């Protein structure tokens, strides 16, 4: 029994793969029709530039819609090929005039336009061929079933091939079913592969496009990093001005008054000096707190592992740390990972209503992955000051990536990945 199951599994998996490819190929027929109509609409929009000028707005919008349509086919082709065919995440900025400049200056726009007629012709032809192949066994089964109906004798399996008796119905239906199934089984996978390869070749980004996208990402992340840095400086200045500086001024005043009255009112002077001592201790504590927000001393003393254990132990919500191998990391990544965990645990305590949090940290290939999961109410809205925006900026500044999965009702998972290749 076990041996039969083991042997049957690859066959079922292959049949499932053939079925999925058949669905993709059949779907190419409506896809080709939509692409054809989209091309006609784009042509009409272009003609309206001359006729009414409204095409100046319609053409960029149509090209953006085309970008989304081709991205959908990029994803589909990538799944068939088992590799990623990158979609384009570069949005349009500025006004209509800037849209034209960006779209016409984007090489991918011309690849999208070139793909359209090929999708209509090649994709449509492959889709129709797949429908024909799948139609042979379907018609064969129908022939064998419909013969038993009153109208069966009047039907024809194919032109010139009547189904007037069981011998002709089954004599044509069984071979048609076997032959059609075999042809579909053998031909549909390479047909789907050919379409996916053609689509990926036409729509895959060039090296120049990849570099331009990389430059855009780096520009955006560096701008975010500068913004976060400036915000951090303002926070430190505010904390020093409103807290520590005020205490130091108060200490100076008390010491000055004590100096003036020490001979005539020694008890008052001692009281003032005692208060100055207390405020000095408070100011020193505030300075240590501010220093920890710049670079936590615990990282230098105990490393990332010890610092994370300390964070989890001091968490306001019961938390557990799953720590994998992290290896040697740059100081900037250690600090960022520490702050991601610290900010996330603080958010859990303030906003989530959770009763438990799980912190997972480990190295996967050349990336450090930091994940914080809680069993709270979920539904994080970053626009409402949840702290996630700051986490994103801090991670992006180191060329990392942040993902947030927080459905309403929970659980919430915040994951940050940092590149740390040697």
pLDDT of residue 277: 81
pLDDT band at 209 (very low <50, low <70, confident <90, very high): low
CA dihedral 102, 103, 105, 109 (to 10 degrees): 150
Residues 173 and 279 in one domain: no
Residue 7, pLDDT > 70, answer no
Whether residue 47 sits in one domain with residue 20: yes
Question: 262 with 303, same domain?
Answer: no
Contact 236, 294 (CB under 8 A): yes
Helix (H) or strand (E) holding 315: none
Shared domain for 61 and 169, answered yes or no, is yes
346 or 238: whose pLDDT is higher?
346
User: Domain check: are 113 and 231 in the same one?
Assistant: no
pLDDT at 5: 36
CA proximity to 376, closest of 336, 410, 329: 410
Per-residue exposure over 21-54, b if at least 16 CB sit within 10 Å of its own CB, e if not: bbebbbebbebbeebbebbeebeebeebeeeeee
Domain assignment present for 5: no
Question: Are 135 and 158 within 8 A, CB to CB?
Answer: no
Q: Is the pLDDT of residue 387 over 80?
A: no
Can you name the residues that pair with 370 across neighbouring β-strands? 361, 416
**pLDDT at residue 229, rounded to an integer:** 60
Residue 338's pLDDT band (cuts 50, 70, 90): confident
Q: Output the DSSP codes for 224-274.
A: HHHHHHHHHHHHHHHHIIIIIIHHHHHHHHHHHHHHHHTTT-HHHHHHHHH
Domain match, 284 and 380 both: no
H helices within 52-123, ranges in order? 55-81, 96-104, 107-118
> Domain of 274?
216-294
Q: Is 124 within 8 Å of 28 (Cβ atoms)?
A: yes
Q: Which of 102-106, 262-266, 417-421 has the lowest mean pLDDT?
A: 102-106
Q: Does one domain contain both 121 and 47?
A: yes
Closest CA to 176 of 156, 191, 193: 156
Q: Per-residue pLDDT for 31 more than 80?
A: yes
pLDDT of residue 334: 85
Q: What is the residue whose two structure tokens read 């990389």?
A: 214
The predicted model gives 321-327 an average pLDDT of: 84
Tell me the pLDDT tens digit for each residue of 107-149: 778 888 888 898 899 988 998 998 888 888 887 777 777 666 6
Number of domains in the chain: 3
At residue 402, φ and ψ (nearest 5 deg) are -120, 135
> Do 32 and 150 fall within a single domain?
yes
The answer as to whether 2 is a domain residue is: no
| Burial degree of 193 (CB within 10 A; 0-12, 13-18, 19+) | middle
Q: Is the pLDDT of residue 358 over 80?
A: yes
Q: What is the pLDDT of residue 6?
A: 37
Would you place residue 278 in the very low, low, confident or very high pLDDT band (cuts 50, 70, 90)?
Answer: confident
- Alpha-carbon distance 377 to 351, whole Å? 9
- Check: CB of residue 215 under 8 Å from CB of residue 44: no
Query: How many Å apart are CA 339 and CA 299, to the nearest integer?
Result: 11
Residue 78 has pLDDT above 70, yes or no: yes
Residue 372 lies in a domain: yes
The tens digit of pLDDT for each residue in 165-201 reads 666 667 767 877 888 888 888 888 889 888 888 888 8
Please tell me whether the peptide bond between 175 and the residue prior to it is cis, using omega within 30 degrees of 0.
no
Band the pLDDT of 265: cuts 50, 70, 90.
Answer: confident
Choose one of 278, 294, 310: the last residue of a domain. Answer: 294
Same domain, 193 and 222: no
Mean pLDDT score across all residues of the chain:
76
Summarize pLDDT for 48-76 with one digit per residue, the tens.
665 566 656 677 777 878 888 888 888 88
Taking only the tens place, the pLDDT of each residue in 284-322 is 777 776 666 666 677 777 888 888 888 888 888 888 988
CATH value at residue 408: 3.30.565.10
Query: What is the pLDDT, as a whole number, of residue 175?
Result: 78
Structure tokens at 34: 């939509």
On the question of pLDDT at 162 being above 60, the answer is no
Judged against a pLDDT cut of 50, whether residue 97 lies above it is answered with yes
The model's confidence at residue 233, banded by pLDDT at 50, 70 and 90, is low
């Amino acid at each position: 029994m076990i041996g039969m199951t083991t042997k049957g599994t690859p066959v079922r998996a292959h049949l499932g793969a053939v079925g999925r490819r058949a669905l993709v190929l059949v779907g190419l027929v409506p896809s080709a029709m939509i692409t054809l109509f989209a091309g006609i609409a784009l042509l009409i929009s272009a003609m309206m530039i001359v006729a009414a000028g409204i095409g100046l707005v319609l053409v960029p919008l149509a090209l953006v819609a085309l970008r989304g349509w081709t991205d959908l086919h990029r994803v589909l082709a990538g799944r068939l090929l088992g590799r990623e065919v990158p979609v384009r995440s570069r949005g349009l900025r500025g006004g209509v005039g800037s849209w034209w400049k960006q779209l016409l200056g984007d090489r991918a726009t011309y690849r999208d336009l070139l793909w359209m007629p090929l999708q209509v012709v090649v994709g449509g032809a492959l889709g129709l061929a797949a429908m024909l192949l799948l139609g042979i066994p379907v018609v064969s089964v129908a022939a064998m079933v419909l013969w038993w109906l009153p109208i069966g004798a009047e039907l024809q399996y194919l032109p010139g091939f009547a189904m007037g008796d069981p011998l002709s119905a089954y004599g044509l239906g069984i071979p048609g079913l076997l032959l059609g199934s075999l042809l579909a089984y053998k031909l549909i996978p390479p047909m789907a592969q050919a379409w996916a390869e053609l689509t990926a070749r036409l729509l895959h980004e060039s090296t120049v496009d990849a570099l331009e996208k990389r430059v855009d990402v780096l520009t955006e992340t560096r701008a975010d990093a500068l913004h976060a840095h400036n915000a951090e400086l303002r926070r430190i200045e505010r904390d020093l001005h409103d807290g520590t500086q005020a205490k130091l001024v108060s200490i100076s005043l008390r010491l000055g008054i004590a100096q003036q009255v020490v001979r005539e009112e020694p008890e008052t002077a001692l009281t003032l000096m005692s208060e100055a001592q207390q405020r000095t201790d408070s100011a020193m504590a505030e300075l240590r707190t501010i220093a920890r927000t710049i670079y936590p001393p615990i990282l230098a003393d105990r490393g990332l592992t010890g610092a994370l254990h300390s964070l989890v132990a001091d968490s306001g919500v019961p938390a557990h740390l799953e720590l994998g191998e992290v290896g040697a990391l740059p100081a900037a990544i250690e600090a960022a990972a520490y702050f991601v965990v610290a900010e996330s645990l603080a958010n859990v305590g303030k906003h989530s209503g959770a009763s438990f949090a799980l912190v997972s940290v480990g190295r996967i290939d050349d990336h450090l992955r930091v994940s914080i999961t809680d069993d709270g109410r979920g539904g994080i809205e970053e626009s409402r000051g949840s702290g996630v925006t700051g986490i994103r900026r801090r991670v992006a500044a180191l060329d990392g990536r942040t993902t947030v999965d927080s459905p309403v009702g929970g659980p919430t998972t915040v994951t940050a990945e940092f590149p740390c290749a040697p």
